[in-house]
Structure 1
Amino acid sequence: MDENEQQGQNREPEPERAPSHTRYFKIKPFSFVMLIFTLVILTAGITFFALTFGDDKVVEVVSPQKTDRAEFQKLYDAYDEIKKNYYEDIDDKKVLDGAINGMVDALDDPYSDYLNKEETDHLMENISSSFQGIGAEIQEADGYIKIVSPIKNSPAEKEGLLPNDLITAVDGKSIQGMSSSEAVLLIRGEKGTTVTLTIKRGEKAEPFEVKVTRDDIPIETVYAEMLDGNIAHIRLTTFSEHTYDELLTAIDDMEAKGMKGLVLDVRQDPGGVLDGALKISDLFVDKGKTIVQTQERGKKAVLYPASDGRKVKVPTVLLIDDGSASASEILAGALKESAGIPLVGTKSFGKGTVQSPTDMRDGSNLKITTAKWLTPDGNWIHKKGIEPDVKVDYPSYAMLPFLDPSEELKAGSTSANTEPAKEMLKAVGYDPGKIDGTYDDQTADAVKKLQADLKLEETGVLTGDTAIGLMNKLKDKIEKEDPQLLKAKETVEQKISK
């Protein structure tokens, strides 16, 4: 929060406190909406409408004849001039939609958006009982579409997409300048169909293509395992309406197995409904302490205190990274500031606003940011993120670009993928020689050793199943030698020993 905002807050009355026992189901409509717009790229669009549009309302579009507001006269004059003098007949509806889009774009807010009736209908047309798509959370960022996070076990994750990857084109069509809703219409699709994404990773890296086969998106949001020393590792992949119950089941299971400590993991968790963040935070925050604050324009902040319900008593650490956004950050702020639970990993994404949707009479939909949320201590983390108490970066090899299995890398190749391929080989225990863009005999020998281990023909050519096998080995290494998880586990063990 900047100085002016802080001073403004200091002049306001004391924040209101939401009733601790009733707040989960009596919060204001906008409070349920914590997803980044067009969060999960799904064919069905279920998440989009069930969560983002869960508390929508219908309004009547007021015509010029019904208002005498002077600020609109310029708009009417412009419309009349276009209608009268444009050299061709105009599409009145298209022009009106364009005017609304222009107003929303002028907000410079990637979380506010307008969908005309056709776009809204398109998102709804394939609604079914299953989630289908590539499974990635996106947002607009400086004219590009940026991946906030791939969902665990989704096609996007399996194909190596990472937080902060920029999608520059879809099936060869540039999407630069598109809204997130426009991009979703191109990216989503039915199970079994493929989409080719052009990805830019890092400022200097060359763009590369990733072919993703759309599939059912896992709807399970909680994954639990017991680590050495009876330290439970529970990962939350999103905050859906069922996540809290799934988490309670996982905790019960870990307690039955003798849990002595807990690593709660919201890395690459892009958020979800506020209700889930509140109830999960409540498990770790003492009764009466603040979980989060919400504040609308010109109004005093409303505090949401913890209840006297069930609490997790074992030493706990929270894992975060730059894919932890929205509801994940509410949890992180609550645990850090109201429960004294340390955060391990890298700085979180930085989404501190709340969106509210409105269904227009003609079937279009307008979604705008209506409030900001603050941490218990009153910090606004928007565009800043939350810093971990213990910073642990990902290893460099975890950020290497995807290798296209259809490309052949062999002696004499000059492909831009040669250097990252050699880095992968080195990371998983094969010596490819000097790490540069030259695919030489030593590189070919390293690939032959890889192929022998994979029980493939030893050609020395990196392509097809060899490339896939190499990337799978790298993924296994990242999961087994996760430095952030190891540090979090160590931190929990230190708390247990005190």
Structure 2
Amino acid sequence: MKVVKALDEQKVGQEKQEQTNLENKSGFIRMKKFQFIMLLFLVVFLSAGITTFALAFGNDKVATVGADRAEFSKLYSAFDTLKNGYYQKVDDKKLINGAINGMVQSLGDPYSDYMSNTESKSFHNSISSSFDGIGAEIQEKDTHIVIVSPIKGSPAEKAGLKPNDVIVSVDGKSLQGMNSTQAVALIRGKKGTKVNLIIQRPGTEAPVKVSVIRDQIPINTVYGEMVGDGIAKVQITSFSSNTSKELVKTLNDLQKQGMKGLVLDLRQNPGGLLDQAINISSLFVPKGKVLFKVEDRNGKIKEYTSQNKGNDTMPLVVLIDSGSASASEIVSSAVNESAGVPLVGEKSFGKGTVQTAQDFSDGSNLKFTMAKWLTPNGNWIHKKGLKPDYPVSLPDYANLTMIDPDKELKLSTVSTDVKTAQIMLKSIGFDPGREDGFFDDKTQNAVIAFQKAQSLPADGVIKGESTLKLMDLLRQKIQQNDTQLQKAIEVLKERMK
């Protein structure tokens, strides 16, 4: 079995070409890409039946789109009333943008959004090869901005941000009531600049300040390595425009190193492009088997099947968790229900809708939900998630909250942050002798020992660099003691017999 390195391209314009064409070349796979709209961190589905929108901006009033429709009379009346009667001169475009935004907001759908030309430009930049920011996928949920997942190796991950963390404010500005696009505009910024976030983690008493230095976030999405006994681990962090190509190259490289079984790690993968999910699912699902289904507003269901003509017998296990969303859930359910691949880890996020986007002539953009997607067996996992066949949690210390590096924890301090620090110290081998939140002499000695081991100023105070290093070492500890990966390897070995 040989993974073919080449990826052919074909144009998509007809019904029969809506699915990825996967062809065998003496073994594993050769893939042909769709040319879908590139929406990073959103599953996007295009349909020839989508009605396009058109708005023209005149000098005095809204253009005549739908002008003869009775339901628009109230809208025009409100526009004219404000334009002619408001005590200050109003901006026509601002009123129109506000009206469109209000319509979208009334849907109550966190995945539908209207973006001004400035916000739309930022949105399109996010699908390039890289962008400047903290590297975290967010969404609006119950009027809050919630982290879906940090990107592997990003400043967000290094700062300890986790799925379901609520971002309360950015540089002192509250995000309450904002949509995700508005929040992204505040969080992003030039590489090297600092952004201060107030984070509320579920299950914790008080919010904590997290300072993150923005960096360039490259869209490298596939990371592979051999983990012993002929087993390879491949992590896919998101589904961007080159992910399937990256994956095939990685599989080629790993096969040369003796890969006989594969753990596909989709944990904390917030999703991405639908065509990439189709490509990747088809690598492991036999030809003709259902990958997923799409149900439109009228209940009409269309099935999407694997076009794989290659060898799909590679022993496989997939890792998921609460940060696995959207496209990663499509892949997971496809291989699980149509190829019998077991899922290991924790229940996934639960995003069962697909979106498309419409650009307007002035540069603004309307992104909206157009359909549901269902698993091969017809299940809608929206707000429910996928349940793993083998439920496995990470160690308790993997769920510790962050410590504000600007806070000073020292002798005689009593706080929940001290308790967190004590548990962190014990987890990485510097036992303070207690975990009750009181900073005593033994805790100070443990801190000094930790600081000396890391060549830090040994003052016995947890602050600044000491705090950041402590959290970084804990993150490394979690990676070294990955109970979910260990279980996946155990399951895979049974399948390889």
1:4 aligns with: none
Q: Which moves more between the two structures, 337-346 or 467-476?
A: 467-476
- Equivalent residue for 2:41, pick from 15, 30, 35: 35
1:352 aligns with: 352
1:285 aligns with: 285
- Deviation of 1:61 after TM superposition, in Å, equals 1.4
Letter of the 1:275 partner, please give it.
D
Paired residue secondary structure (1:259): coil
Give yes or no for contact 2:151–2:237 (8 Å, CA) kept in 1: yes
Mapping of residues 244-263 of structure 1, within 5 Å:
244-263=244-263
- Equivalent residue for 2:55, pick from 51, 61, 67: 61
Give yes or no for contact 2:317–2:343 (8 Å, CA) kept in 1: yes
Paired residue secondary structure (2:218): coil
Q: Distance in 2 between matches of 1:246 and 1:122?
A: 25
2:298 maps to 1:298: yes
1:386 aligns with: 386
Structure 1, unmatched stretches of 5+, are: 1-15, 38-50
Q: Which moves more between the two structures, 251-260 or 450-459?
A: 450-459
- Deviation of 1:127 after TM superposition, in Å, equals 9.7
2:336 aligns with: 336
Change in Cα spacing, 1:388 to 1:74, as seen in structure 2 (3 Å) is same
Q: Deviations over 1:214-239 (max 9, x none)?
A: 11213221111111212111111111
Letter of the 1:35 partner, please give it.
F
- Deviation of 1:187 after TM superposition, in Å, equals 0.8
Q: Which moves more between the two structures, 214-223 or 122-131?
A: 122-131
Change in Cα spacing, 1:171 to 1:361, as seen in structure 2 (3 Å) is same
Paired residue secondary structure (1:417): helix
Mapping of residues 121-270 of structure 1, within 5 Å:
121=121, 130-270=130-270
- Deviation of 1:20 after TM superposition, in Å, equals 5.7
Q: Distance in 2 between matches of 1:462 and 1:166?
A: 25
Give yes or no for contact 2:145–2:183 (8 Å, CA) kept in 1: yes
Give yes or no for contact 1:145–1:183 (8 Å, CA) kept in 2: yes
2:272 aligns with: 272
2:371 maps to 1:365: no
Give yes or no for contact 1:134–1:213 (8 Å, CA) kept in 2: yes
Change in Cα spacing, 1:19 to 1:358, as seen in structure 2 (3 Å) is closer
With normalisation by structure 1, the TM-score equals 0.87
Give yes or no for contact 1:18–1:302 (8 Å, CA) kept in 2: no
2:319 aligns with: 319
Aligned residues, how many? 468
Q: Distance in 2 between matches of 1:21 and 1:280?
A: 10
With normalisation by structure 2, the TM-score equals 0.87
Q: Deviations over 1:373-407 (max 9, x none)?
A: 11111111111111111111122211212223332
Change in Cα spacing, 1:118 to 1:431, as seen in structure 2 (3 Å) is closer
Structure with more helix by fraction: 1
- Deviation of 1:58 after TM superposition, in Å, equals 6.8
Q: Distance in 2 between matches of 1:338 and 1:190?
A: 44
Paired residue secondary structure (2:135): strand
- Deviation of 1:260 after TM superposition, in Å, equals 2.3
Between the two proteins, what is the percent identity of the paired residues? Answer: 50
Paired residue secondary structure (1:283): helix
Q: Distance in 2 between matches of 1:27 and 1:244?
A: 11
Give yes or no for contact 1:33–1:354 (8 Å, CA) kept in 2: no
Paired residue secondary structure (2:449): helix
Paired residue secondary structure (1:131): strand
Change in Cα spacing, 1:117 to 1:241, as seen in structure 2 (3 Å) is closer
2:476 maps to 1:470: no
Letter of the 1:444 partner, please give it.
Q
Q: Which moves more between the two structures, 482-491 or 346-355?
A: 346-355
Q: Distance in 2 between matches of 1:75 and 1:417?
A: 53
Q: Distance in 1 between matches of 2:226 and 2:338?
A: 27
Give yes or no for contact 1:447–1:460 (8 Å, CA) kept in 2: yes
